[in-house]
Amino acid sequence: MKTRTLGKDGLKVSAVGLGCMGFTQSYPPYPDRKDAIETLRRAVDLGITFFDTAEVYSYGKNEDLIGEALQPVRDKVVIATKFGYDLSEMPDLTTSARPVSLSSRPETIRKAVEGSLRRLRTDHIDLYYQHRVDPNVPIETVAETIGELIKEGKVLHWGLSEAAPSTVRRAHAVCPLTAVQCEYSLWYRNPEAEMLPTLEELGIGFVPFSPLGKAMLTGRFDRDTKFDKTDFRSAIPRFQGDNLKHNMELVDYVKALAKQKGTTPARIAIGWLLAQKPWIVPIPGTKRIERIEENMGGADICFTTEELADIRHHLDSLEILGGRYPEDQEKMTGL
């Protein structure tokens, strides 16, 4: 597996990582624990070294799963997790997808670190993101707190998720960032306007989540697909009704590209991301080993300069309809 480096402090990871949320949340059905652990360990055998989880995913259960699975190979992998929610009052797990209360107060961060370390069965977190910007806590205060944790050896590198470029600059000035995580794919290209130039200027790595558009770009769905109410996509405007029908035009285009290059749509989507910058590391999420193998193959897809220009021209001509989050969650991003 090819590797890439995030940030100026040299965090080396596999060119394609693994987003682990779906093992326990948002995209049912979920594998049983034994099968999930087997899949995660097989991913390491195949060359994946970069695993992404978060405290809020299933309220600790996802971290616990990742911790058990990767404990035997802890020295071979990079584990990224996230803080930023107040878990002191647990919600009703049968009805709520995530806590409603953001919190990045220093005391909340320190409590979160200890919980994550325990669940992940480790003495350090390789890459620690603020999951969402807390408007009630200055980002400088967050950066100072993380700086203390880095000095203590509990955190090695840190980053931000779904933060505005201006916030990235302020945080980086206090405690240098290794990576920023935001959604980025063939069907969500907003980071190109300001985020990517900012990261390039500052020497910060970029970790796109949902690089396959929540599986849209794999070609699995059609214009009449209906998502079960337990599936997170059922609440996302982009996947609903006429929006979905319209947005399939992009999927058809990606399928055509895949056929032209003799590969799969997923590999086209991941290969395109990797071709944008050498410091971009996508983290597609899947629970199936055959999909992990397919996604890893995206690192072997090559595009000519002419092909990339043609793809960009075609993307610019397409309009994607519908928001990428339900309205209540869209408000929680720092963009």
User: What are the tens digits of pLDDT across the range 117-155?
Assistant: 999 999 999 999 999 999 999 999 999 999 999 999 999
Non-local CB neighbours of 89 within 8 Å, separated by 6+ positions: 99, 101
Instruction: With a cut of 60, say whether residue 94 has pLDDT above it.
Output: no
Residue 245 to residue 326: CA distance in whole angstroms: 18
Predicted pLDDT of residue 328: 66
Residue 146 φ/ψ, nearest 5 degrees: -65, -40
Can the peptide bond before residue 29 be classed as cis, meaning omega within 30 degrees of 0? yes
Q: Closest Cα to residue 6, out of 43, 52, 40, 39?
A: 52
* CA-based torsion, 225, 231, 232, 236: positive or negative: positive
- Enter the DSSP assignment of 248: H
Among 27, 30, 57, 325, the active-site one is 57
Higher-confidence residue of 94 and 213: namely 213
pLDDT, one tens digit per residue, over 201-231 is 999 999 999 999 999 999 999 898 998 888 8
Per-residue pLDDT tens digits for 16-44: 999 999 999 988 899 999 999 999 999 99
57 belongs to the catalytic site: yes
- Say how many CA atoms lie within 13 Å of 252 toward its Cβ: 9
Encode pLDDT of 56-76 as tens digits: 999 999 999 999 999 999 999
pLDDT digits (tens, 9 = 90+) for 291-331: 999 999 999 999 999 999 999 999 999 999 998 877 767 65
Domain boundaries along the sequence of the chain: 3-215+276-302
pLDDT at 334: 65
Per-residue pLDDT tens for 103-119?
A: 999 999 999 999 999 99
Integer Cα distance of 3 and 74 in angstroms = 18
- Mean pLDDT of all residues in 51-55: 97
Q: Look at residue 246 and tell me whether its pLDDT is greater than 50.
A: yes
What is the model's pLDDT at position 89? 66
Q: Tell me, what's the pLDDT at 142?
A: 98
pTM over 0.75: yes
Percent of the residues in the chain that have a pLDDT greater than 90, as a whole number: 86
CATH architecture of the region 3-215+276-302: Alpha-Beta Barrel (3.20)
pLDDT > 80? residue 46: yes
The pLDDT, as a whole number, for residue 229 is: 87
Q: What is the rounded average pLDDT of the residues 159-176? A: 98
